[in-house]
């Protein structure tokens, strides 16, 4: 299905022919994707296929082998150029398992980025921001004193989200935000992702293999397969796909679907 052209001024994140090779393994072969300002883009695909690698390029944890990454019309990463300062002022990331500092309580975890990047803030100002971010994720102020070991998996994910929004980023990246959570807790996290987009007007990029979550939170969904983005579309477009690789993934079939109305396999996503 062809992509509809997007006004360049509406693009918050742009990946152009992104490639990444680890040793002899080419994980990303040719990834091009435009993510609109203020939308929630969900990236789906098989385990180990490179979804998290895409996120790590967006936030500057990895430098591409080829191609480029642009944020808000500024090229921040190529094979020869790397601008982590610009990236990290604009982005917050919620890592797969939360990645909270075990030796710090919840409040200190949330305040960490504030102390690193805004040394001019007073301790009173920092504590006010911590309280504000806890309220945004529907946690009471006393949670600031709890250690990560005292929190459930869902609570740790929520605190990780509070830490990600501490610097008021324009983009929030989520790496498998519902992994390891029961369906009810997963739905709480889904609602928080939707809530953050509405309240903070951020651009959200979510990597997941949880299709129930993808369908609930996404404005658009991109499917990564064999190092390429093979389809981008709305929730309805993905649900009604004729691409056999996308259809196989979203339905959980072991064999590629075939039959009338199913497009011929085209793993590269190219004509």
User: pLDDT for 79-121, tens place per residue?
Assistant: 998 887 777 778 888 887 657 888 889 999 999 888 877 778 8
For residue 265, what pLDDT is reported? 56
How many domains are there within the chain? 1
- Supply the pLDDT for residue 260: 58
- The CA distance from 1 to 14, in Å, is 19
Q: Taking 90 as the threshold, does the pLDDT of residue 47 lie above it?
A: no
**Is residue 266 one of the residues assigned to a domain?**
no
In a domain, 267, yes or no: no
Average pLDDT of the residues in 213-230: 96
The residue-averaged pLDDT of 21-40 equals 95
pLDDT of the residue at 229: 97
Residue range 178-187: mean pLDDT, rounded: 89
Is a pLDDT exceeding 50 seen at residue 271?
A: no
Residue 256 maps to a domain:
no
Whether the pLDDT of residue 69 is over 90: the answer is yes
Beta-carbon contacts of residue 202 (< 8 Å; ≥ 6 apart): 38, 165, 169, 170, 171, 172, 196
Instruction: Please give the Cα distance from 115 to 118 (Å, whole number).
Output: 6
In a domain, 24, yes or no: yes
Q: How confident is the model at residue 261 (pLDDT cuts 50, 70, 90)?
A: low
pLDDT over threshold 50, residue 180: yes
Phi, psi of 215 (to 5 degrees): -65, -30
Query: 0.85 cut: is pTM over it?
Result: yes
Q: Is 257 a domain residue?
A: no
Mean local confidence (pLDDT), 25-51: 95
> β-pairing, 91-94 with 171-175?
parallel
Other C-beta atoms within 10 Å of 23: how many? Answer: 5
Burial of 252 (0-12, 13-18, 19+ CB in 10 A): exposed
Domain-embedded: residue 214:
yes
Q: Is residue 1 part of a domain?
A: no
Across 9-18, 32-41, 98-107, 216-225, least confident range: 98-107
Query: pLDDT at position 2, please?
Result: 45
Answer yes or no: is pLDDT of 9 > 90. Answer: no
- What domain range is 216 assigned to? 8-251
Chain mean position to CA 72: 16
Q: Is 259 within the bounds of a domain? A: no
> Residue 35 is part of a domain; what is its CATH number?
3.40.50.300
């Amino acid at each position: 299905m062809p992509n509809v052209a997007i006004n360049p001024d509406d693009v918050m994140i742009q990946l152009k022919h992104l490639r990444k090779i680890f040793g002899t393994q080419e994980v990303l072969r040719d990834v091009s994707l435009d993510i609109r300002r203020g939308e929630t883009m969900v990236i789906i695909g098989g385990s180990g296929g490179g979804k998290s690698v895409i996120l790590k390029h967006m936030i500057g944890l990895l430098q591409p082998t080829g191609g480029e990454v642009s944020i808000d019309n500024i090229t921040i990463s190529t094979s020869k150029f790397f601008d982590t300062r610009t990236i990290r002022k604009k982005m917050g990331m919620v890592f797969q398992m939360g990645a909270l500092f075990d030796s710090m309580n919840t409040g200190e975890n949330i305040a960490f980025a504030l102390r690193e990047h805004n040394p001019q803030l007073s301790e009173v100002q920092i504590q006010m921001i911590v309280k504000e971010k806890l309220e945004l994720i529907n946690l009471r102020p006393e949670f600031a004193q709890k250690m990560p070991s005292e929190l459930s998996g869902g609570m740790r994910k929520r605190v990780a989200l509070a830490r990600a929004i501490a610097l008021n980023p324009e983009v929030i990246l989520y790496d498998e935000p519902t992994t390891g959570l029961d369906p009810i807790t997963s739905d709480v996290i889904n609602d928080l992702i939707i809530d953050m987009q509405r309240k903070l007007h951020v651009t959200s990029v979510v990597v997941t293999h949880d299709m129930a979550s993808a369908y609930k939170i996404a404005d658009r969904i991109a499917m990564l397969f064999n190092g390429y983005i093979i389809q981008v579309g709305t929730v309805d477009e993905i649900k009604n796909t004729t691409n056999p690789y996308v259809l196989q993934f979203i339905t959980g079939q072991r064999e590629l679907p075939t039959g009338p109305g199913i497009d011929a396999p085209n793993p590269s996503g190219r004509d």
